[in-house]
Amino acid sequence: MQHILIIEDERAIAELERDYLESHGYQVHIEGRGDIGLKKALDGQYDLIILDVMLPKMDGFEICREIRQQHNVPILMVTSKKEDIDKIRGLGLGADDYITKPFSPSELVARVKAHLSRYERLTSNKDSHNDFIQIRGLCIDRPARRVTIHDEEAMLTSKEYDLLLLLASHPNRVFDKMELFERIWGLDSNGDTATVTVHIRRLREKIEHDPSNPQYIETVWGVGYRFKV
Ligand code: CA
């Protein structure tokens, strides 16, 4: 059975979410305070976290950042404010998805299901040959060689696409620039690791909300890059 933690101070909303999730076979725990919620989330016994933004003691942004530094667990953020959405998308907090209040419980259940199965795929088979790779709003459609960010198409060149696909197919694995160059361009081609740097920069301009604060392709200083999950 999969365990879900709801961090939400509005009891009525939390209980509504819990009832729906339980009726779909999930085991649910509710925590009303931000600081305690974070502690529970870091215990590592939950398969997914539903995290409200406005919370007493510690807000959802901070909690999300802290969880993400230690855990790969899917995080679904809940907010009632439109202004929060840009923050969730742009800050590189590492949230997988967000949902705005009011939402229908069935929509919540559908998102929870989708993220749980995506994480299962990612963690059980990192070299999987799935047709789609979906991570925090970014979707790679392999058969079509097409990339969308929050349903908007990113127009990538062939090399940019190959680079993104290689990184995203091996989430959290660090690639050094020479390896990327060899695998994408081939040893015999003209160019060097600076080519990789240039392509990563262009790729970020196309897929990142804020290229100077990337939430997908992370620079590992002195080494290379990795696709963050
Ligand atoms: Ca709240």
- What percent of the chain is predicted at pLDDT more than 90? 57
Distance CA 22, CA 16 (A): 10
Please tell me the distance between residue 9's alpha carbon and the centre of ligand 1 in angstroms.
Answer: 5
The gap between the terminal CA atoms of the chain, to the nearest Å, is 23
Let me know how long the chain is.
229
CB burial of 43-72 (b: ≥16 within 10 Å; e: otherwise) equals eeebbbbbbbbebeebebbebbebbbeebb
Among the residue ranges 12-26, 115-129, 130-144, 193-207, the one predicted with the least confidence is: 115-129
Among the residue ranges 154-168, 171-185, 203-217, the one predicted with the least confidence is: 171-185
pLDDT tier, 151 (very low <50, low <70, confident <90, very high otherwise): confident
Sheet holding 132-135, edge to edge: 132-135, 138-141, 146-149, 152-154
Please tell me the distance between residue 135's alpha carbon and the centre of ligand 1 in angstroms.
Answer: 26
Residue 94 confidence (pLDDT) above 80: no
Please tell me the distance between residue 115's alpha carbon and the centre of ligand 1 in angstroms.
Answer: 22
Q: What one-letter code names the amino acid at 34? A: G
Q: What pLDDT, on a 0 to 100 scale, did the predictor assign at position 9?
A: 96
- Kind and range of the H or E element at 48? strand 48-52
Helix (H, G, I), strand (E, B) or coil at 145: coil
Highest mean pLDDT among 2-6, 130-134, 136-140: 2-6
Name which residue leads in pLDDT, 31 or 136: 31
User: pTM above the 0.75 mark?
Assistant: no
Q: What pLDDT, on a 0 to 100 scale, did the predictor assign at position 35?
A: 96
Residue 61 confidence (pLDDT) above 90: yes
Identify residues whose C-beta is under 5 A from ligand 1, the ion. Answer: 9, 52, 54
pLDDT tier, 41 (very low <50, low <70, confident <90, very high otherwise): very high
Per the CB < 8 A criterion, the answer to whether 130 and 39 are in contact is no
